[in-house]
Structure 1
Amino acid sequence: MLDSKQCQAFLAVAETGSFEHASLQLHLTASAVSLRVQALERQLGQMLLIRGRPCQTTPAGEQLLQYLQRQRFMEQNFLQNLQGKQANSEFIKVVIASNADSLATWLLPSLQHTVIQQQIALEIRIDDQSLTHALLEAGQAHACISVEAQPLRGCAAKALGYMRYKMVATPTFIARWFKHGVSRQSLMQAPAVIFNQKDHMHQNVLLKLHGLTANSYPYHFIPSSEAFVHAIHRSLGYGLVPDLQLGAALELGELVEILPEAQTDILLYWHHWQQQSTPLQQLTQQICQNSQRFLHPV
């Protein structure tokens, strides 16, 4: 049997990144936390942490971390089902892993009613839509929005709909960089706007359509959905924008779709643990219904 206090110490260090921060969280001395982690490592016969700044988990430590995080979520769900609310709060905490574009557009309107009615305290964790399911697998989220169709073991996945992206730029930008049309040569010169280093959608499109690799054209990294669109509106570059964020910009001529064949539809899925509390069940039901108002149908 694993010792609960030793596991608690390990979990605190793994999540905070240091023995000092873990000691503050647990109201212990750093040396006491260290002794508990060492005792757990001796019991398991494995090094669990690489001591550093910050501390990092070894492969064995990562397995234990995922196990303990899942166990914590299962306990939270059990208590919420049994008691209705957490003992020290009127609110139920729900962690959702989401891509930034969903959070900036349709996610909160889809959840609004249940969040208010069920007194849910949301914690949204942002990552690329191809990586959010890893947070669910690691036990760091109750549910996630992902492009992965296959559910994890112990989880269920439901298709929500397609998020559509269009390649756009301002007339001013087009007049400067694409005055002779959008071609392979002009794309090699014009600056693009890309969300961050994990966002491969833009480079995949240019590689497919024009054979351009990511190092063959200039680009800005703008890691905020709202600032990303503002950058394009300010003629800093061109980029793939969700149609939910375009509004009337195309109709008003503020933005122009420069490469219609670059239109990209990303199918999003809602992943959640099969064992859900009643509020989480209602949250799942609502997001599956309301996402159809915003996303393109499957």
Structure 2
Amino acid sequence: MLSSKSCEAFLAVAETGSFDEAAKVLCLTASAVTLRVQALEKDLGQVLLLRERPCRVTQTGQQLLEHLQHQRLSEHHLIQSLQGQSQAHYFQQFNIATNADSLSTWLLHVLQHVLITEKVAIKFLIDDQTQTHQLLETGRVNACISTEKRAMKGCEAHLIGQMHYRMVATPEFAHQWFKDGIDREKLRQIPAIIFNDRDLLHHQVILKLFGLNQQSYPHYFVPSSSAFADAIHLGLGFGLLPDDQIGTHIDTGKLIEVMPKASTAMQLYWHHWKQQAPALEKITQVLLTQAAQHLDGVKS
């Protein structure tokens, strides 16, 4: 059996990236954390952490990290299931991974009622929609919204709807850069608005239509859904916005769709473990029955 105290120390260092920060979390000295991690490495006969700034896990360390994170989440899940609503004044806590656009547009509206009535508090983890299911796989979240269609072992995946994106810019920006049309060479000079370096949607569209990778054209990284839309409205660049954020701006002339062929429909799936706490099961049912009303609907 692995030492629980040593595993706790390793987990804290792996997640904070520092022995000093892990010591603060565990209310220990940094030397005590170091000794516990060293003891664990000795027991396993493997180096688990690379002592860098920040600390990084080795391949073996990553395996152990995923195991411990999953174990922690499973224990939390068990406690939630056993306690149920016996202590009604307590809020149950779950971790859910989602893309930023869903969180900023429709997700909270759909979940509002069930979160209040079931006394549930959610820790939302934000990542690109192509990456969120990895957080579920490593045990960091109870469920996730993802573009991944296939369910992982021990999980279920349900299509809940799709978000539609259009490539837009302000009329002034479009007149300055796109008045004579768009081609591969012009795009090398035109600034784009991209969420962050893990946002693949813009990259995939431009690569498909013009054969340009992200390093071929100037771009902003704006890792906030509201600030992302603001950047486009301020005329800093062009980018893909979901219909929810576009609203009536195209109809009123505040925005122009500059690349109709770049229009993209992104299907979203709800992934969760097959065994769920009752409150999380209710969240699942709400998403399956109501999400499509806020999205473009479920396409078979």
Give the shorter-chain TM-score range.
over 0.9
What is the rounded CA distance, in whole Å, between the counterparts of 2:231 and 2:79 in structure 1?
A: 46
Alignment: residue pair count: 298
1:140 aligns with 2:166: no
1:182 aligns with 2:182: yes
Letter of the 1:91 partner, please give it: F
Question: Deviation string for 1:172-208 (max 9, x for gaps)?
Answer: 1111111223333433332221111111222222222
Contact map agreement 1:100 1:224 (CA 8 A) in 2: yes
Q: TM-score, normalised by structure 1?
A: 0.94
Contact map agreement 1:79 1:86 (CA 8 A) in 2: no
Letter of the 2:286 partner, please give it: Q
Letter of the 1:220 partner, please give it: Y
Corresponding residue number in structure 2 for 1:4: 4
1:91 aligns with 2:72: no
Corresponding residue number in structure 2 for 1:206: 206
Corresponding residue number in structure 1 for 2:268: 268
SS at match of 1:165: strand
Corresponding residue number in structure 2 for 1:282: 282
1:119 aligns with 2:122: no
1:296 aligns with 2:296: yes
Corresponding residue number in structure 2 for 1:14: 14
Question: Deviation string for 1:7-66 (max 9, x for gaps)?
Answer: 112112211222222222222222222222222111111111112222221111111111
Larger CA deviation: 194-203 vs 119-128: 194-203
Corresponding residue number in structure 2 for 1:65: 65
What is the rounded CA distance, in whole Å, between the counterparts of 2:77 and 2:85 in structure 1?
A: 10
Corresponding residue number in structure 2 for 1:40: 40
Corresponding residue number in structure 1 for 2:170: 170
Q: Give aligned-pair identity as a percent.
A: 53
What is the rounded CA distance, in whole Å, between the counterparts of 2:163 and 2:143 in structure 1?
A: 19
Q: CA deviation at 1:234?
A: 1.3
Corresponding residue number in structure 1 for 2:55: 55
SS at match of 1:249: coil
Q: CA deviation at 1:86?
A: 9.9
What is the rounded CA distance, in whole Å, between the counterparts of 1:86 and 1:75 in structure 2?
A: 18
Contact map agreement 1:80 1:86 (CA 8 A) in 2: no
What is the rounded CA distance, in whole Å, between the counterparts of 2:58 and 2:199 in structure 1?
A: 27
What is the rounded CA distance, in whole Å, between the counterparts of 2:185 and 2:168 in structure 1?
A: 18
What is the rounded CA distance, in whole Å, between the counterparts of 1:183 and 1:43 in structure 2?
A: 60
1:82 aligns with 2:82: yes
* Unaligned 5+ runs, structure 1: none
What is the rounded CA distance, in whole Å, between the counterparts of 1:213 and 1:17 in structure 2?
A: 32
What is the rounded CA distance, in whole Å, between the counterparts of 2:75 and 2:84 in structure 1?
A: 13
Q: CA deviation at 1:254?
A: 0.8
What is the rounded CA distance, in whole Å, between the counterparts of 2:34 and 2:207 in structure 1?
A: 50
What is the rounded CA distance, in whole Å, between the counterparts of 2:4 and 2:121 in structure 1?
A: 27
Contact map agreement 1:86 1:92 (CA 8 A) in 2: no
SS at match of 2:251: helix
* Unaligned 5+ runs, structure 2: none
Letter of the 2:287 partner, please give it: I
SS at match of 1:36: helix
